[in-house]
Amino acid sequence: MDVDGVLTDGTIILDGEGGESKRFSLHDGHGIKLWHRAGLETALISGRESAATTARARQLSIKYVMQGQKKKLPAFESLLAESGLSAGQVAYIGDDLLDVPVVVRAGLGVAVADAVDELKERADMVTNNCGGAGAVREVIEYILKNSGRWDGLMERYTL
Residues 83-87, mean pLDDT to the nearest whole number:
95
129 and 38 in contact (C-beta within 8 Å)?
no
- Tens of pLDDT, residue by residue over 28-79, are 999 999 999 999 999 999 999 999 999 999 999 999 999 999 999 999 999 9
Encode burial over 53-85: b for 16+ CB neighbours within 10 A, e otherwise. beebbeebebeebbbebeebbebbeebbeeeee
Q: Is the pLDDT of residue 158 over 80?
A: no
48 and 68 in contact (C-beta within 8 Å)?
yes
Mean predicted lDDT score pLDDT of the chain:
95
In terms of CATH, what superfamily is 13-151? HAD superfamily/HAD-like (3.40.50.1000)
pTM, rounded to two decimals = 0.93
Element (H, E) at 52: helix 51-59
- Tens of pLDDT, residue by residue over 94-144, are 999 999 999 999 999 999 999 999 999 999 999 999 999 999 999 999 999
Give the number of other CB atoms < 10 A from CB of residue 49: 11
As a dihedral over the C-alpha atoms of residue 103, residue 48, residue 11, residue 119, rounded to 10 degrees, the angle is -20
Per-domain boundaries in the chain: 13-151
Question: In Å, how far from its chain's centre is CA 40?
Answer: 13
DSSP 8-class letter at 112: -
